[in-house]
Amino acid sequence: MNQVTLLVLAAGMGSRYGGLKQLDPVGPNGETVIDYSVFDAIRAGFSKVVFVIREEFSEEFKTSVGSRFVDKIEVGYAYQNINELPDEFNVPEERIKPWGTGHAILAASGVVNEPFAVINADDFYGKDAYARICNYLTKVGDNNEKNNYCMVGYPLRNTLSENGSVSRGVCSINPSGQLESVKELTKIVKTEEGPVNMSEDGGSVFLDGSEIVSMNMWGFTPDIFNHLEGLFTNFLEQNLEDLTSEFYIPFAVDSMIYARNACVDVLQTSSNWFGITYKEDKHFVQESIQSLIQLGEYPSELA
């Protein structure tokens, strides 16, 4: 049985909200989304958590976040730096935007040596999702001829916001339950008739809500790092001067599937996903967590 690590992508926390405002409480005793993520990971069987952060707020993060978990699980850190590129590339002077989730995962290559799950720091994925991905990763081998990875998929209806449109990666899945592709729909709105995707030309397409979507919860073995290095180099060759381009992990996985270098099993979960896309979403997240506590899925106070 493999040891399994949780890789938490948190390098964007300071830049998106100014400081560490994603640490706003959502639980009844001041718990944050990260507190629930680590709680779920520990009870699912994860043995280590690694936070990918920016070095300039390292001390603040370790004091505010990491210190809460050191007596519960092994804690590690990796640092995403915009200037860390392959030797043949230099960062354009005007570049401010980070290089994306694929680059963030690459930053952990020197810290993670075991199968690992990837999550966003500010997303609530649910108990069932952690149990499914941990069970998969404890059993997956890392010497397969074709790299076996996984992704947790959510029914679209379990991921929508009441307060505005959302962007979701809608998955195409083959009869064996494996991911074939992810199509990004960038403006999905929740309506009384069901979810609707609004296109740039003003058209609309109704969805039935059962579509399986990716919420950036992936499971990999360490060999992914070698693949990401090559794909990131290719990305830079084509996009280095585009100051807004980002190397996203769904793009990397799609590329590997297309090249037949990876097989990605889709683990469908009954969990609801919660995220604070809009400030008005916070109240909904708080109410949803309280409902889960009343159902007995979480204690009223996390140990």
CB 252 within 8 A of CB 246: no
CB 223 within 8 A of CB 147: yes
- Give the span between the Cα atoms of 62 and 246, in whole angstroms: 27
CB 118 within 8 A of CB 198: no
The pLDDT, as a whole number, for residue 20 is: 55
The vertex-294 CA angle with 290 and 300, nearest 5°, equals 65
- For 13, other C-beta atoms within 10 Å of its C-beta total 24
The pLDDT, as a whole number, for residue 17 is: 45
Residue 266: beta bridge partners? 151
CATH number for 5-294 (one of 3.40.50.980, 3.30.2320.20, 1.10.760.10, 3.90.550.10): it is 3.90.550.10
Predicted TM-score (pTM) of this structure: 0.92
- For 194, other C-beta atoms within 10 Å of its C-beta total 13
Q: Please list the ranges in the chain whose pLDDT falls under 50.
A: 14-18
- pLDDT 10s digits, 6-47: 999 998 764 444 455 557 789 999 999 999 999 999 999 999
Among 47, 52, 15, residue whose Cα is nearest residue 34: 52
- pLDDT 10s digits, 223-252: 999 999 999 999 999 999 999 899 999 889
The pLDDT, as a whole number, for residue 167 is: 87
The pLDDT, as a whole number, for residue 15 is: 47
Token pair recorded at residue 269: 């979960």
Distances (CA, A) of 287 to 5, 209, 284: 29, 22, 5
Write the single-letter amino acid at 292.
L
200 Cβ contact partners less than 8 Å away, ≥ 6 residues apart: none
- Give the span between the Cα atoms of 218 and 147, in whole angstroms: 13
The pLDDT, as a whole number, for residue 107 is: 96
CB 227 within 8 A of CB 261: yes
CB 276 within 8 A of CB 10: no
The helix (run of H) or strand (run of E) holding residue 253 is: helix 249-258
The vertex-190 CA angle with 158 and 28, nearest 5°, equals 50
Q: What 3-state class would DSSP assign to 235?
A: helix
- Give the span between the Cα atoms of 301 and 303, in whole angstroms: 6
CB 270 within 8 A of CB 128: yes
CB 154 within 8 A of CB 213: yes
Token pair recorded at residue 210: 């059962």
